Amino acid sequence: MKPFDVTHRVQTQHKAVAFTFDDGPNPVYTPQVLDIFREVGGKATFYMIGEQIEKEPELAALVHAQGHEIGNHTYTHPFLTKLSGEAVRNELRKSESMIQDITGKKPVTLRTPYFDVNEEVLSIIEEEGYQLAAGAVNMAAQDWDMPGVDHIVEKTRESVCNGGIFIFHDGFGDRSQSIEAVRVLAKELTKSGYRLVTVEELLTLADPE
């Protein structure tokens, strides 16, 4: 067994990638993401913040109804390494409970805010029963900084690989560049034979260890 750590890609022979969206649900941008993935016949993973789910419960339910994964992104989006162990568990469990109310099951994967982890946080995530803490292969795209659609597209293209996990954002601030970049990338990758799957599904496609 490998030690529990942040996973940027799942080792797989399958031509499949996972698009992930952080910080929603957002009433402006999340529906646009749903439209894009409906058009290309793909699925995505939404790492939702508990506080945002409280604001947009119907939108979170729609994401689930359309077959996408909802992963845990904590309740308030804190730096987990600055919290006590008990506070980390509370952040995970509070958001988890809300996701479970929507989906009927405990989330399988999560992403820590700011990719902020240490050994204690990772061990708590594992103890809480999560199968994967999501990283991303396209960190250089830095969509959160609004670097321009072309930059997001190019840097993501450079990182494409079987089993790759991509990070984008559908919440907090203006996410129009992320949406346009994803529109381009989702069509491109689908045309070139990639399946767009959830992170949870990607785990089922992993090569045997």
Q: Catalytic residues, which ones?
A: 22, 169
Q: Please list, in sequence order, all residues whose beta carbon lies within 8 angstroms of the beta carbon of residue 94, skipping any fewer than 6 positions away.
A: 50, 75
Q: How far is the CA of 169 from the CAs of 4, 99, 123, in angstroms?
A: 25, 18, 26
Q: Please list, in sequence order, all residues whose beta carbon lies within 8 angstroms of the beta carbon of residue 38, skipping any fewer than 6 positions away.
A: 66
Q: Tokens for 207? A: 């090569």
- Percent composition of the chain: helix, strand, coil (DSSP 3-state, to 5): 45, 15, 40
Please state, in angstroms and rounded to a whole number, the distance separating the CA atoms of residues 14 and 41: 17
Please state, in angstroms and rounded to a whole number, the distance separating the CA atoms of residues 25 and 12: 30
- The torsion angles phi and psi of 198, rounded to 5 degrees, stand at -75, 160
| Centroid of chain to Cα 35 | 17
Please state, in angstroms and rounded to a whole number, the distance separating the CA atoms of residues 196 and 202: 9
